[in-house]
Amino acid sequence: MAGKSINLSKARVLVSNDDGIHAPGLKLLEEAMAKLAREVWVVAPETEQSAASHSLTLRLPLRIRKLSKNRFAVNGTPTDCVLLGINEIMKKSPPDLVVSGVNRGGNMGEDVTYSGTVAAAMEGTLLGVPSFALSQLSTDDHPVKWATAKKWIGPVLKKLCAEPWPQGVLMNVNFPDITGGKVIGIEITRQGRRKIGSDLVRGTDPRGEPYYWIGAQRREEHYGQGTDLEALGRGAVSVTPLTMDLTHGPTLKQLKARIT
Ligand code: MN
């Protein structure tokens, strides 16, 4: 396989997220990376950017606010943060690794295309830096089990950094919504799929105007074998290698043969 493995203990790491600079998952990831790597830099959005996807800020100027040594907030999206982190804040010596998260809530299946957490890792990948997106599954009816992510970040990163993988591929990691001791292990999975769009709240605002509010994704009982959704449901940490090249090979081949 093309690509080089990463020497994690010697790595300079750029940490970002989409929940914003004050998010508990960001603090957790900073602390975990400080133990695993040589140097940790943080560049994260001033405000929450969940579901910002891979958007760039083009019509407004971006400002970098230095909070402390190696720690910065940007008034933009996760993509803006990684772009400025690599091309401006760390430009003299770019990072060896980008880690994004730990997101409050999972990023599985079609979440990947909406996610700002995954987008930060996409931007790192496009700029030639090996990148991870990290998310902790949770539901609204109980506190987020951050201790599960905390326990499993080290084992996951150590294992994957020892493996070379090609440029243009990023690692999407999800931690299951169970306590860390009950996790059954790390599984390599493919991106799953759910039916979405059923949870739309319709209401009327105080001035009598209708409004619409997009709710949670629909839960389903059965997921495809080998998918992120299925592995997480059984209590595994899921690792999905994602590619930035969205071309669908079989359709490309079929159309090339039929259309000339
Ligand atoms: Mn988020």
Mean pLDDT value across residues 188-213:
90
Predicted confidence (pLDDT) per residue in 54-100, tens digit: 999 999 999 999 999 999 999 999 999 999 999 999 999 999 999 99
Q: How far is the CA of 28 from the centre of ligand 1 (A)?
A: 14
CA distance 4 to 162: 9
Q: How far is the CA of 223 from the centre of ligand 1 (A)?
A: 23
Percent of the chain scored above 90 by pLDDT?
A: 89
pTM, two decimal places: 0.95
CA distance 260 to 257: 7
Counts of helices then strands in the chain (DSSP H, E) = 7, 11
pLDDT at 1: 59
User: Does 217 have pLDDT greater than 70?
Assistant: no
Q: How far is the CA of 245 from the centre of ligand 1 (A)?
A: 24
Q: How far is the CA of 106 from the centre of ligand 1 (A)?
A: 9
Q: How far is the CA of 36 from the centre of ligand 1 (A)?
A: 23
Q: How far is the CA of 209 from the centre of ligand 1 (A)?
A: 29
Q: How far is the CA of 39 from the centre of ligand 1 (A)?
A: 24
Q: How far is the CA of 40 from the centre of ligand 1 (A)?
A: 21
Predicted confidence (pLDDT) per residue in 116-142, tens digit: 999 999 999 999 999 999 999 998 889
User: Does 160 have pLDDT greater than 80?
Assistant: yes
Average pLDDT score, the chain:
95
User: Does 218 have pLDDT greater than 70?
Assistant: no
Domains and CATH numbers, the chain: 8-258 (3.40.1210.10)
The contacts of residue 30 (CB under 8 Å, 6+ apart) are: 15, 40, 42
Predicted confidence (pLDDT) per residue in 13-58, tens digit: 999 999 999 999 999 999 999 999 999 999 999 999 999 999 999 9
Q: How far is the CA of 19 from the centre of ligand 1 (A)?
A: 4
Q: How far is the CA of 125 from the centre of ligand 1 (A)?
A: 19
User: Does 219 have pLDDT greater than 70?
Assistant: no
Q: How far is the CA of 116 from the centre of ligand 1 (A)?
A: 7
pLDDT at 199: 81
Q: How far is the CA of 94 from the centre of ligand 1 (A)?
A: 25
The contacts of residue 49 (CB under 8 Å, 6+ apart) are: 18, 19, 20, 77, 78, 116
Q: How far is the CA of 18 from the centre of ligand 1 (A)?
A: 5
Nearest to 13 by CA among 43, 33, 35: 33
